[in-house]
Structure 1
Amino acid sequence: MNYILNGFAEAFRLLISFDPEIIQIVLLSLYVSFSSTLYATIIGVPFGILLGITNFRGKPIVSRFLYTFMSFPPVVIGLFTALFLARSGPFGQLGLMYTPSAMIIAQTILVTPVIMGIIFNQSTTRGYDIVLTGKTLGAGKLNTLFLLIFELKGSIMIALVTGFGRAISEVGAVMIVGGNIRGATRVMTTFIAMNNNMGQYSTAIAMGIILMTISFITNSILYKYIIGDINEYRD
């Protein structure tokens, strides 16, 4: 029990010392996670809306595949991404393996189904009424899309934050394609796993505290947007 208490004390000391390596790891983690979440949002939101409001044969099967990919094991995503980016793979000539770009690609593949699935579910349940309202008001296809995005902005925020949480807490895929290289591809989750395996619990606890803080800030932003959306609706 003492080593846990000592670990928290050492974690606090490490956090206030502004260790350059810790700062570099945090910044890289935020860069990779925000980038992958942004790309996943750009892909997942329009496709999720399109699938949700469109009726076609085979839609139940597509939805099953989509929900399956939402819970796909990250290590499998990392494995297949590595196979494609490896030197002998189809995209090996790009030299992306063991770089932040490879980590962003893997996390984008991981996060996109999460965002798309949430938007797809909301579009399926609410999209028809919104589209019908848009047609009643004489809106074109582009204006209808903007109307859908506006009306679903609360769900989009939830999807975005959920995707970001999935990205920043992921360890398996980024470990495989990034390699946990010091000063190059080491992020918070791989740093925590490495230090825990080495018995350096204080350092692992310090990074865990940073992760929890980021999660709290992200959820606070989500809460703010949801409350603002509700108040706007009431007004």
Structure 2
Amino acid sequence: MTASRQDIRPLTSAFAIRRFRPTLEAPVNDIGTAAATAIDLVVTADPALARIVLLSLRVSLTALLIAALVGLPLGALLAVARFPGRGLVLSVLNALMGLPPVVAGLLIYLLLSRSGPLGPLGLLFTPTAMIIAQAVLIAPILAALSREVLEGLWEEYAEQLRSFGAGRLRAVPTLLWDGRFALLTVLLAGFGRASAEVGAVMIVGGNIDGFTRVMTTAIALETSAGNLPLALALGMVLMAIVLLLNAAAQATRQVAQRAGA
């Protein structure tokens, strides 16, 4: 296949109209029937549903790993470092936490497009482009939240660490380990943000059926297309993931409190 990934973009609308057809022959405007069909899709692990969910998890978890490798060390460095302009850096970091997803998606699109600096890599309209978009969005969140957590630990243990001959930079690994429970909550927050993303991943991924379609973009597409059963099924799975994340975050906080007691 010699066509580049960018050549797929004009076909996106053609892929988009290939909608899942409910297994039950019932009008999609019947909410009760649509909900029953959606539950059946979830319980039976419908292949179309499972494919979308698995791709969503793969993209979001990979983006979280990349963002954590950048954001957590950066947050730790900002927690212990004192330098001219630190306040400005923190202000920019906090501003990036509210970066509009569509703006991030547009910037990444320009970088990965055929005429962009990374165009020859052919990453546009692929899961890799979606991972990059999500990582760019959540890395500032992880950095800012981890900085707040680790700055408190640094203030608490600074004198003790200095007495052992550990300077600011050498204290970073110790702070990351000591704050691991609190940082796990930060990671869960980042994953929740990534899994709920719509705008940026739709711009750089194209929402191509069977290739770059994730839960959020599929819900938007199927709802507008009137295919309520699949949209409801995906919504149920996404809500279940959110509830599990909240439960995990609560359990993590309780473990951290017991560990600190």
TM tier relative to shorter chain = over 0.9
- Structure showing greater Rg: 2
Superposed counterparts of 1:142-153, under 5 Å:
144-153=171-180
Q: Post-superposition shift, 1:112?
A: 0.1
Alignment pair present for 1:231 and 2:231: no
**Equivalent residues of 1:37, 1:160 under 8 A apart:** yes
Q: Which residue of 2 aligns with 1:65?
A: 92
What do you get for the CA RMSD once the two structures are aligned? 1.6
**Equivalent residues of 1:131, 1:148 under 8 A apart:** no
Q: Post-superposition shift, 1:157?
A: 1.2
Q: Post-superposition shift, 1:140?
A: 5.9
Q: Which residue of 2 aligns with 1:7?
A: 34
Q: Post-superposition shift, 1:143?
A: 5.4
Secondary structure of the 2:30 match is: helix
Letter in 2 for 1:129: E
Q: Which residue of 2 aligns with 1:94?
A: 121
CA distance in structure 2 between the aligned counterparts of 1:5 and 1:52, rounded to whole angstroms: 52
Runs of 4+ in 1 over 4 A off after TM superposition: 140-143
CA distance in structure 2 between the aligned counterparts of 1:225 and 1:156, rounded to whole angstroms: 10
Q: Post-superposition shift, 1:162?
A: 0.8
Q: Which residue of 1 aligns with 2:18?
A: none
Deviates more, 1:167-176 or 1:113-122: 113-122
Given candidates 238, 241, 251, the residue that maps to 1:214 is 241
Deviations 1:54-111 (A, max 9, x none): 1111111111111111011111111100000011110000000000000001110001
Given candidates 79, 84, 101, the residue that maps to 1:52 is 79
CA distance in structure 2 between the aligned counterparts of 1:199 and 1:220, rounded to whole angstroms: 33
Deviates more, 1:177-186 or 1:14-23: 14-23
**Equivalent residues of 1:51, 1:120 under 8 A apart:** yes
Q: Post-superposition shift, 1:203?
A: 1.5
**Equivalent residues of 1:34, 1:164 under 8 A apart:** yes
CA distance in structure 2 between the aligned counterparts of 1:186 and 1:121, rounded to whole angstroms: 35
Distance change (3 Å), C-alpha of 1:143 and 1:224: farther
Superposed counterparts of 1:149-228, under 5 Å:
149-228=176-255
CA distance in structure 1 between the aligned counterparts of 2:170 and 2:75, rounded to whole angstroms: 17
Q: Which residue of 2 aligns with 1:108?
A: 135
* More helix as a share of residues: 1
Letter in 1 for 2:216: T
Q: Post-superposition shift, 1:5?
A: 2.7
CA distance in structure 2 between the aligned counterparts of 1:185 and 1:133, rounded to whole angstroms: 50
Alignment pair present for 1:131 and 2:158: yes
Deviations 1:28-70 (A, max 9, x none): 0000000000110110001111012111111111111111110
**Equivalent residues of 2:38, 2:232 under 8 A apart:** yes
Q: Which residue of 1 aligns with 2:22?
A: none
Q: Post-superposition shift, 1:142?
A: 6.6
Identity score, percent: 40
Q: Post-superposition shift, 1:128?
A: 2.9
Structure 1 spans left out of the alignment, 5+ residues: none
Q: Post-superposition shift, 1:131?
A: 2.9
Letter in 2 for 1:31: R
Deviations 1:210-232 (A, max 9, x none): 00111222222222222222112
Q: Post-superposition shift, 1:13?
A: 1.3
Alignment pair present for 1:78 and 2:74: no
Given candidates 40, 52, 55, the residue that maps to 1:25 is 52
CA distance in structure 1 between the aligned counterparts of 2:128 and 2:233, rounded to whole angstroms: 26
Q: Post-superposition shift, 1:12?
A: 0.5
Structure 2 spans left out of the alignment, 5+ residues: 1-28
